[in-house]
Amino acid sequence: MKLVVGLGNPGPEYAGTRHNLGFVVLAELATKTGIRLCEKRFKGLFGKGRWASEAVALLEPMTFMNLSGRSVNAARCELDVMPRDVVVIYDDVDFPLGTVRVAERGSDGGHKGVRSILDEMETDEFARVRVGIGRPAPRGDVVEWVLGRFEEHELMARDQAVERAVEAVETIVRRGTTAAMNQFNRR
């Protein structure tokens, strides 16, 4: 089984923000797979089903970003999912808007949601689908940037990135993380 997690913050005040891009990708995955996020489990919204001939569980933590690891690790342990079968989708300020990159392990890169998952799972051996949101203008506040909403001229690039992120997750589920890295990490 694959456990696919989209990171974000719960509540209407965070809907549509750059930091909630993981939730947006997960919602698109739920639509594509027909897996409904209708169960309240693991301190989040949860659903499971089959996709690409594979058992897949989707999780949207409702713990707020900085505590995402509590939700992810609770689901991973109860579902008996190996860390390498966890896929985490999240926003990344280190990549330009629209960029999608896949990794099979690594550091948190300054992302507090990923830091929480690393701390709770006590391993870095989980796949990541990082969706670029770019950085604020020089001297701009990074926190305000990630918690801000996309501007009108950014929406097309955001939507294309969401589609590519869904494709990246599908590649991970069907063919593995290495195949997804080879396909999506080209410059």
Residues carrying an active site annotation: 19
Residue 31 belongs to what H/E stretch? Answer: helix 21-33
Task: Give the closest residue to 8 by CA, choosing from 97, 78, 68.
Answer: 68
- Angstrom CA distances, 4 to 11, 87, 164, stand at 21, 5, 15
Single-letter residue type at 6: G
Q: Which two tokens stand for residue 17?
A: 């923000």
**What 8-state DSSP symbol labels residue 138?**
T
